[in-house]
Structures are given as structure tokens and as C-alpha cells.
Amino acid sequence: QLILGIETSCDETAVAIVKNGKEIIANVVASQIESHKRFGGVVPEIASRHHVEQMTLVIEEAFRQAEIEIQDVDAIAVTEGPGLVGALLIGVNAAKALAFAHDIPLVSVHHIAGHIYANRLVTEMDFPLLSLVVSGGHTEIVYMKEHGHFEVIGETRDDAAGEAYDKVARVLNLPYPGGPHIDRLAHEGTPEIDLPRAWLEPNSYDFSFSGLKSAVINTVHNAEQRGEVIAPETLAASFQASVIEVLVTKAVQAAKEYKVKQVLLAGGVAANKGLRAKLTEAFSELEDVQLVIPPLSLCTDNAAMIAAAGSILFEKGKRADLTLNGNPGLDISIHND
Ligand code: ATP
Ligand code: MG
Ligand code: FE
């Protein structure tokens, strides 16, 4: 089975071809970071225009890498949402055009289902499982009793983890996207500043990062008023320690309560070295639970993950038709039977 995946929800134009849902035979990502950097974030209009310019080139490159032809493809999987509507539409329309022209089945995929299925490109999924999703727009814990079934057991009530990273990075005058820069700085400093941890109610798997973000901003401003400068390494390390402690603690608690076989890390913030290390440490003590962490290139946005999720949905008989539209507010439960 060969699935063509197309992903354009944000600022990566990505096309991939995945065999049997597990094996990458082509994975092309055209990043637009350089174009958005000077604005300090993604500019939707610019993102859409880049997707239009890149789409056919990226599709051609994927087929060149895979050494197959469009007729060999069993289904086309495309990100329906969530994301920027203008950006989503470029991928959705490319997928529909190819599906229509070559009479190939079309499958729509929720972007976060894709992030979770990046893990199937690493190892076989073993149910029940939990996924800790930490990305630019989402921070949630998702329970899966079987393939293609997603239950959100906790989610952020305000900012996503990646969003908090990017906002704190701006305060520290670091370039967009700030996550990797904070991660690097954090390893050069020590977490000396006591910043808040938002535990919320006991037994809640929800998250909140806006208070932490405000605490960082206040710490910087108060220091400025006293004519002091806090080393950015110290701030980065303190901020990162707070984020990671909450993420790891809640993931471990949820894994125990739900008695899962696996915990899958997913989303752009899964590229964080500190988070990867602390999770590995914590789960090494839980013998019955296997922690899976994708390689960095599969954590941030890509189309291999969309093809991997699409593969399972295709096998389950899920199909989209030519009325498919980009849906910025799509809910992950649309995949559930
Ligand atoms: P979503 O997946 O929720 O729709 P998105 O697709 O924009 O959002 P991703 O591409 O999954 O988000 O992840 C991008 C986010 O990951 C950015 O906020 C970025 O700062 C963050 N990120 C990337 N690498 C790291 C890192 N090493 N440490 C922390 N954050 C990181
Ligand atoms: Mg991105
Ligand atoms: Fe993403």
C-alpha cells in the first residue's frame, strides 16, 4: 500500500510517500521560516502564497525520491485542519485535483492525528496508548484504545507549550521560531528562578502556560526597573524547567491511571532536548510502559506523518470526496467511529 501525504496547515509545504503506513520512501519539506522570520511569526497571506509556489515542485520532488508514479499511489491523504485556512486550502485543492485527475481515493487527516502517527514511522503502536502532544498550537494528552480513535483527556486552557516558547523567546529577543533557541540557551544555564507550575485541579490533565509566560515577562521587567539584567540562559533554563516538570509529571500520572502500554511523544516541542531527556528518565522507572520519541525531523510539521495516519484511516474505509474543504477548527474526534 502506497499513500501520498500532503500537509500545508502552517508554514511548511510538505509532501511524502509512505509504504504500508510505516516506511518512508519520500519525505520533502519546504520550510518558509526565512520568509516569516522578519515578521516574528507566520504571516498567513505569505504562507498561502508560498504554498502555491512550492506545491507542484514539492510533489514532483517526492515522486522523484520515491521513484514511483502517481498511478502507483493507493490513496492521497491530506491535512483538512486545524491550521491557517488559506494555507490548508492549497494542500486540500492540490490533493483533490490529483485525486480527481487520476481517480485515486482521497482521505482527510486531522493535523494532530498526523503528529501522533509520526510515531508509527518509528515503531508499531501498541494499544491502549497515550500521546503527549506538544506543538505550536496544541498541548494535550490523547488516549487511543485502537487505531484511528482519539480521545482528548486533557488540553491547554490557554497557550500551547510551543506558543509559550515562542512568546518567551520574543521577550529574550530571540529569532522566530523561538523554541529551539530557548532549548539551546536552557542547556547553558541553571534554573535558578522559581517560576510557577500550573498543576490546576488534582487529577486534571489540562494544562495552562499563560501564567508562566506572564511570570517570565514580569521577572524581566522587574529586573529592568531595578537596573539589573538577568542572564538569558538563567531565564531560559528556569522557564524550560517549569514547562517540562508539568508535562512529564502529568504524562506519568496519566500513563499510570490509564494503564497504557505506550506513551508517544508528538508535535514540534517534542524536538526539545530537555523534554526528551526528562521523559526518558521518568519512563525508565515505569517498566510496563514503552516511551516512543520520534526523530527530530518527524516531530515538526511534515507530510510523512499525514500519510502514516492516512494509511490507517484508508484501511478503515474512511474517504473524503471532492467537497472537502480546509477546516481551521477541525476536531480530532471526527476520525472516531
Ligand atoms: P500545531 O501542530 O499545533 O498545529 P504547528 O504545526 O505550528 O502547530 P509544530 O510545527 O508542530 O506546530 O511545532 C512548532 C513549534 O515547536 C514552535 O512553537 C516551535 O518553537 C516549537 N519547537 C520546535 N523545536 C523546539 C525545541 N527544540 N524546543 C521547544 N520548542 C520547539
Ligand atoms: Mg511549523
Ligand atoms: Fe504541527
Q: Tell me what pLDDT residue 280 has.
A: 98
- Mean pLDDT of the 48-72 span: 97
Ligand (nearest to CA of 13): 2
Residue 124 CA to ligand 3 center (angstroms) comes to 21
33-47, 127-141, 188-202: least confident range: 33-47
For residue 157, is it left (φ>0), alpha (ψ between -120 and 50) or beta?
alpha
Pairing of strands 129-134, 139-144: antiparallel
Give per-residue pLDDT as tens, 195-213: 999 999 999 999 999 999 9
Between the CA of residue 38 and those of 33, 35, 136, 253, what are the distances in Å? 9, 7, 18, 41
Give per-residue pLDDT as tens, 252-305: 999 999 999 999 999 999 999 999 999 999 999 999 999 999 999 999 999 999
Which amino acid belongs to residue 322? L
**Does the structure show a pLDDT above 90 at 328?**
yes
Binding-site residues from annotation for Fe cation: 111, 115, 301
Binding-site residues from annotation: 111, 115, 133-137, 166, 179, 183, 272, 301
Residue 160 CA to ligand 1 center (angstroms) comes to 9
- Mean pLDDT of the 317-323 span: 98
Give per-residue pLDDT as tens, 154-207: 999 999 999 999 999 999 999 989 999 999 999 999 999 999 999 999 999 999
- Mean pLDDT of the 309-315 span: 98
| Residues near ligand 1 (Cβ within 6 A) | 9-10, 83, 111, 115, 135-138, 162, 165-166, 177-180, 183, 267-269, 271-272, 300-301
Strands of the sheet containing 12-19, edge to edge, are 23-31, 12-19, 2-7, 75-81, 106-110
In b/e form, how buried is each residue of 178-194, taking b as 16+ CB within 10 angstroms? Answer: bbbbbbebbeebebebe
Q: Tell me what pLDDT residue 320 has.
A: 98
Ligand 1 atom with the shortest distance to the CA of 162: 18
Q: Tell me what pLDDT residue 38 has.
A: 86
Q: Are 256 and 283 in contact, with CB atoms under 8 Å apart?
A: no
Which amino acid belongs to residue 34? E
Burial of 259 (0-12, 13-18, 19+ CB in 10 A): exposed
**Does the structure show a pLDDT above 90 at 26?**
yes
Query: In angstroms, rounded to a whole number, what is the distance separating the alpha carbons of residues 251 and 259?
Result: 12
Sign of CA dihedral 60, 64, 69, 72: negative
Mean pLDDT for the chain overall: 97
Q: Tell me what pLDDT residue 44 has.
A: 92
- Bridge partner list, 152: 142
Which amino acid belongs to residue 152? V
Q: Which three cell numbers stand for residue 137?
A: 498550537
Is this prediction's pTM over 0.90?
A: yes
- For the chain, strand residue ranges (E) read 2-7, 12-19, 23-31, 75-81, 106-110, 129-134, 139-144, 151-155, 262-266, 290-292
pLDDT band of 35, cuts 50, 70, 90? confident
- Bridge partner list, 18: 3, 24
Ligand 1 atom with the shortest distance to the CA of 271: 27
- Mean pLDDT of the 28-54 span: 92
Cell 511524502 sits on residue:
16
**Does the structure show a pLDDT above 90 at 142?**
yes
Burial of 104 (0-12, 13-18, 19+ CB in 10 A): middle
Q: Which three cell numbers stand for residue 274?
A: 530537555
Q: Are 136 and 10 in contact, with CB atoms under 8 Å apart?
A: yes
Distance of alpha carbon 274 from the chain centroid:
17
Strands of the sheet containing 139-144, edge to edge, are 151-155, 139-144, 129-134, 262-266, 290-292
Residue 136 CA to ligand 3 center (angstroms) comes to 6
Ligand 1 atom with the shortest distance to the CA of 184: 27
Query: In angstroms, rounded to a whole number, what is the distance separating the alpha carbons of residues 58 and 32?
Result: 13
